[in-house]
Amino acid sequence: MTKRLEPTVDLALARDHGLTDGEYAHILELLGRTPSYSELGIFSVMWAEHCSYKSSKNHLKTLPTEAEHVLQGPGENAGAVAIGDGLAVIFKIESHNHPSFVEPKQGAATGVGGILRDIFTMGARPVASLDSIRFGPLEDPKHQFLLRGVVNGIGGYGNPVGVATVGGETFFHPCYAGNILVNAFNLGVVEADRIFLGSATGVGNPVIYAGSKTGRDGIHGASLLASAEFDETSEAKRPTVQCGDPFTEKCLIEACLELMKTDAIVGIQDMGAAGLTCSSFEMASRAGSGIEMDLDRVPQRETDMTPYELLLSESQERMLLVCSDGREAEVQAVFEKWDLDAAVVGRVTDDGRMRVRWHGETVVDIPVDPVAESAPVIDRPQREPVELRERQKLDLAATAPEDDPRAALEALLATPNLASKRWVYRQYDQLVQANTLIGPGGDAALVRVRRPDGELTDKAVALSVDCNPRWCWLDPFSGTVAAVAEATRNVACTGARPLALTNCLNFGNPEKPEIMWQFAEAVRGLAHAAEKLGTPIVSGNVSFYNETAGSAIYPTPTIAAVGLLDSCENYAASVFPEVGLAVVLLGETREELGGSEWLALRRGTEAGVPPSVDLDHELRLQGLLAAGVKNGWIRNAHDVADGGLAVALAECCFGSDGPGVGVHVTLDEALRPEVLLFGESTGRVVVGTSQPEELLAAARAAGVPASVLGETGGDRLRVDRPGGRAWIESPQADLYDLWSNAIPRRLEEAS
């Protein structure tokens, strides 16, 4: 072994590590000495925004996180919610934005791998994934490259590891030109009394490293890549992006779940951001314990690695676990069976310190709590953007009315944001494990629940992920409320009852008061909506510094909702299933065009106040949807969202592989045509029913406005004014071609 000379630790080096002058002074005060190089590295990653949540922690404390069915809320690897019959679902959404911009395939792939480990580390078998991905304009060759790479990475990891990708969203906007978003969600199923936590308890218990060997990939991914703005040097950060291996991950899943059937494991956590450092400090912090480690025992795939590199490496497919004393050989035998490394690297102590040795020399000796749980928290200043009130101004009277509704509908269906995402999701395995009832393309995915032994139950879980960043840019509070309402409404459209939420809060540089104000307002909206709808937030992630050369993304608080269908005998998809159904609109259309796709596409402006959200109405509507599906009054249900009612009706006519059942409706002329057809008022759902009287009576009883618009049938979409004059009449085949081929056409034209 060649001993490498370590740099001298001083203020300049601390700054290079992303630490502030005040933070370095605090480190000197805590230790009473200058930190070693390895200790400096530990502080830099653990106090970085990505790991410490120092700018967001105080705000996140205001979120509702508890309910009778919540078994585990924020603070662990993922959230856990009881679904009855002794079962629970574990779920979370996380970001892998910066790595995916620097290296799209591996960045996205390791994002999927990381969220899978968050789920199975708690004892659950991962069964369903969602992705929320956002890019700059699709006409930009760079973003075509990024889209292809990200989709390749998601499919290239999720498919071979054997977890279905059942839904998601894909969005394009210039605000993401310098900073794309890749948010990955996963859900697993577990016996409610077999949930494992990431806690290092039991003095003397062995600490075991398991999985892949450690290399130099990913060093400082959490601190210098994920916790800083992008600039002209960003491309040089490619070496900080990890490389994933889904086949090793599959073995790791099976080995961990096999061990979890025993009582050998005391605590377990994946090595994600900040690798061995973060996992060991967080496990000790949760238990109020300490750990002593010998780094020379860590399995390594590169020569002459230093303690600093071993501690900060973010090599993938690795776990850290604590087992009962004397059970080491049993644990190692299981990992060996699955051809994975497993080595005892340390012991749990009772002194609250992390002591790390390297060939007998102590290279780290620092207290756990100040590094982890009690890491510095910053109450950053906030200021409403001075231009906000100006961008919220929209004079509808001065906005030119839509003079060609058919052309407007065709243009909206052909824009990448509203067009079919089939090109994306056809590259994902949607059916592996044979649980998928509703896959990508609808309002929400629906996945049948199996017990851990493989036995099918009657239950199903519904999953949806949503955010309208344009609305959040115009009003972060109401935009986030709308995202919660839409995610839960989409879940309810299947007939499921919304249970809980997870979130991925994507924002710019929190050191700017305007960005911090956006974040605080979004969290306030999230708390308000979640409390009102009875859907606690059980897990989540904050991603700051999504900003390049001073230009931030639009606020993007991505919300994922999970709901429960007690019996999957009755559920609703989004498309019209047959001819002769009455088409009913639940909810009311209001004179709202602010932040709409029509306004952006047809009038070239992003302005106005986003549509209002009535959460009391949402509760009544979602209850009606569940009752209507259960009782058979509702055959299909589709949320009216981006693009408005005309787009929603067209989407109801599109099958998975071609044009479906047509529709003929008549709309009142009480509002302007563009408002009626393309306004995006919230709280509306288009449903098909063979029992309209029963549905209308139930809607009246529930206090939900409802009106019969027309009937399904034919081979075209026709939207009439009163008196039979058509606003829109178009063959479904023509509309379907525009909608289904919008993304492939753009990609083919560029190649």
Active site residues: 50, 96
* Beta bridge mates, 504: 541, 558
Non-local CB neighbours of 729 within 8 Å, separated by 6+ positions: 406, 716, 717, 718, 719
Q: Is 590 exposed, middle or buried (0-12, 13-18, 19+ CB in 10 A)?
A: middle
Q: Do β-strands 663-666 and 716-720 pair in parallel, antiparallel, or remain unpaired?
A: parallel
Alpha carbon distance 41, 284 (integer Å): 18
- DSSP calls for 477-521: HHHHHHHHHHHHHHHHHTTPEEEEEEEEEE-S-TTSHHHHHHHHH
> Which one, of 169, 87, 85, 91, lies nearest residue 127 by Cα?
91
Q: Give the pairing of strands 706-712 and 663-666.
A: antiparallel
Q: Which residues contact 166 (CB under 8 A, 6 or more apart)?
A: 128, 129, 130, 430, 436, 438, 439, 440, 445, 447, 463
Work out the widest C-alpha separation in the chain, in whole angstroms.
Answer: 89
- Cα dihedral 574, 580, 586, 590, rounded to 10, equals 100
Cα(9)–Cα(28) distance, rounded to whole angstroms? 11
Alpha carbon separation from 500 to 62, 320, 533 (Å, rounded): 16, 28, 9
Closest to 487 (Cα-Cα) out of 192, 185, 155: 185
Distances (CA, A) of 487 to 433, 462, 493: 25, 10, 10
Helix crossing, 615-631 with 513-533: angle to 10°? 50
Closest CA to 430 of 158, 91, 743: 158
In order of 25, 294, 528, 543, the CA distances from 351 in angstroms are 24, 17, 41, 33
SS (H, E, C) 163-174: CEEEEEEEEECH
* CB-based contact 725:117 (threshold 8 Å): no
Rounded distance between C-alpha atoms, residue 317 and residue 114, angstroms: 8
Residue type at position 279: S
- For residue 719, give the nearest of 684, 687, 677 by alpha carbon: 677
For the chain, first and last CA: distance in Å?
A: 50
Question: Which element (helix H / strand E) includes 348?
Answer: strand 341-349
Give me 271's structure tokens.
């090595």
Beta carbons of 212 and 341 less than 8 angstroms apart: yes
Facing residues of 446 across strands? 438, 462
Q: How far is CA 665 from CA 263, 272, 290, 683, in A?
A: 62, 52, 68, 20
Contacts of 582 (CB under 8 A, 6+ apart): 688, 689, 690, 692, 708, 710, 711
Kindly state the helix (H) or strand (E) to which residue 557 belongs, with its residue range: strand 556-565
How many whole angstroms separate alpha carbon 101 and alpha carbon 115?
18
Q: How many CB atoms lie within 10 A of CB 407?
A: 12
